[in-house]
Chains A and B, each alone.
Chain A
């Protein structure tokens, strides 16, 4: 880590708890690089996370940091943002955290288009609890609770968030770090709800059970299966099976929640003497 980026970490709380080969450090570094590019102040930025391996990232970052309950990061973040719209609010969440227990909050944060950037660390598995399948585990993949293969259909979280009303939606991988960093930066800059799904490696639980036992195997898996969104548009659904579509799915300007609320108050709650 170079000195410039070091300034964003709580170096006295490193080393981190993540396993060798885990991709979480790569995503965290990409977030920090994006913040550095934008020159955001540490004092004015709040990180909020849920529960899981990935949700431990804010503890290592020298910002205002809030490690909440499983699946609920977005609701705490919403409270922070509504009370202090001037602060930058970033949510870090795992694939299980965001899509299973926290799925409803994800829908509604996107629907409100509240100015929060959510980075979902997608390792296709519940890492923290030891490798159970998540809604983002591929069908047929193996997990501790899917010893005969996962019968669930896998979930495209980007499509969900797009349909729910977000302003920015993208997917990147830890193999393609520079585009991932750019996506995160774009998400941070965007006024409105932004969602970046970062494909990341859990060699210990996802990899080992699925014949990709090391971090490098999983990076190569990302490289070999990634399809840019422009190319994917020309491919048949059968060709896309098992592929990871990467790139920007949505980048639009839409009214943001806290601004809309302020506007309505100006228009309709003129009498502020109620105090």
Chain B
């Protein structure tokens, strides 16, 4: 209560502290570098907050346990990295379809496979969107600093609760382990969202009915609302129904709720875009190097702006489209060989030329490299 405080912490620690503030009271995990600190810290901190921690036998189990706990009305989280994120995918899809709120942290490391366990990467961007099978709703966020990780974690729980959707927080090893000063907001300044409870008694409750918002009401298990949750397609009663009409209604509702509630999750930052000829589209830790590169280019008279996406999925299409109309060149710096660039190209659709600056050696960007990339597109024209 009272004042804001400033604390030095790691990205992984910011996840833990913010999750507790957001009301997380259950965590299930399995150790993996570079996310392990999250489990270690929560093992100590959760019980102090009245929550419960469990180390499961693998990441499939951790994902399932987090979903099970959430069904009792407990805000739940799991955390992992590359190989573990792959294992979580089937149950993550279960959460998407059954609309069980859950937060999944993936501190990205170099892959595929065991790859380079301690090296940073942004190689899981597309997996975060399309990792599980079938069309499905999911939110993914990629904060660019430790402070923003704190903020994003609280927001992740809020989005997950408000829209009944799994939210993935994509850190990378740099932010996971970097220490930065974080401004901790005053408790009264933090807005928390909770899942919407049932508005009727158990007899009239329809667990998957659309009340007009696209997001059904959710009753916790063990409170008198005896209903069925299944990963089969289901109608508004929650029971399996394999008819084409029910499948169509269900899929369009769970995808439609995402389109409809963009205001709940969309989070982008624009800097220096008013007069920009060249636009950097950034996310995650490379945004820090990009920022200094842009400042330097600006000082030298190059008209460079930045469009930073914090919520990567669903992608902020409209916003980028507007910006793309005013620039001639878009550069996407990524610690992969151009995953988000694919999405940027799709959205920009020829309005501007799109190129990438890419690292895939397990090292981080230096501002110079991004600056050189900017210079290159300016070429001799200046």
Contacts and interface: CB of A to CB of B under 8 A. Distances in A.
B222 A72 contact: no
B68 A66 contact: yes
Interface stretch (B171-179, B208-216, B229-237, B285-293): B229-237
A64 B64 contact: no
Contact of A69 (B44, B71, B91): B91
A141 interface: no
A67 B230 CA distance: 5
Nearest to A44: B222
A13 B230 CA distance: 14
Given A65-B229, A67-B230, A69-B90, A274 B48 contact: yes
Contact of A82 (B20, B45, B65, B240): B65
A66 B71 contact: yes
Interface in A29-65: 42-44, 46, 48, 58-59, 62-65
A106 to B, nearest CB: 10
Contacts of B62: 75
A13 B227 CA distance: 12
B179 to A, nearest CB: 21
Contacts of A42: 226
Contact of B222 (A64, A75, A76, A261): A64
A83 interface: yes
B240 A59 contact: yes
Nearest to B26: A83
A68 B231 contact: yes
A107 B57 CA distance: 9
B301 interface: no
Contacts of A66: 68, 71, 221, 228-230
B231 A46 contact: no
Nearest to B46: A274
B74 interface: yes
Contacts of A67: 228-232
A63 B202 CA distance: 12
Contacts of A239: none
Contact of B69 (A10, A65, A83, A105): A83
Tell which of B44, B65, B223 has the most Cβ of chain A within 10 Å: B65
Most chain A CB inside 10 Å of its own CB: which residue of B70, B90, B230: B230
Contact of A64 (B74, B91, B227, B231): B227
Q: How large is the interface on B (under 10, 10 to 19, 20 to 34, 35 or more residues)?
A: 35 or more
A80 B68 contact: yes
B345 to A, nearest CB: 35
Given A43-B226, A58-B228, A82 B26 contact: yes
A78 interface: yes
Given A64-B221, A66-B229, A84-B221, A274 B49 contact: yes
Contacts of A72: 60-61, 64, 91
Interface stretch (A178-186, A218-226, A242-250, A265-273): A265-273
A157 B230 CA distance: 27
Interface string B309-337: 00000000000000000000000000000
B239 interface: yes
A44 B221 CA distance: 8
Given A59-B228, A59-B240, A273-B48, A108 B57 contact: yes
A269 B239 contact: no
A269 B53 CA distance: 13
Interface string B57-86: 110111111111111101010000000000
B220 to A, nearest CB: 8
Nearest to A13: B239
A274 B225 CA distance: 32
B47 interface: yes
Interface string B162-205: 00000000000000000000000000000000000000000000
B64 A63 contact: no
B364 interface: no
B128 to A, nearest CB: 19
A78 B222 contact: no
**List of 5 A-B pairs having minimum Cβ-Cβ separation, nearest first:** A79-B68, A274-B48, A75-B64, A79-B65, A76-B68
11 contacts: A43-B222, A59-B230, A66-B68, A67-B228, A79-B65, A80-B72, A83-B26, A84-B221, A87-B222, A107-B57, A108-B56
Interface of A: 10, 13, 42-44, 46, 48, 58-59, 62-69, 72, 75-80, 82-84, 86-87, 104-105, 107-108, 261, 265, 269, 271-275
Given A63-B226, A80-B68, 12 more contacts: A10-B228, A13-B239, A42-B226, A44-B222, A66-B221, A76-B64, A80-B221, A83-B74, A83-B76, A84-B222, A272-B49, A274-B49
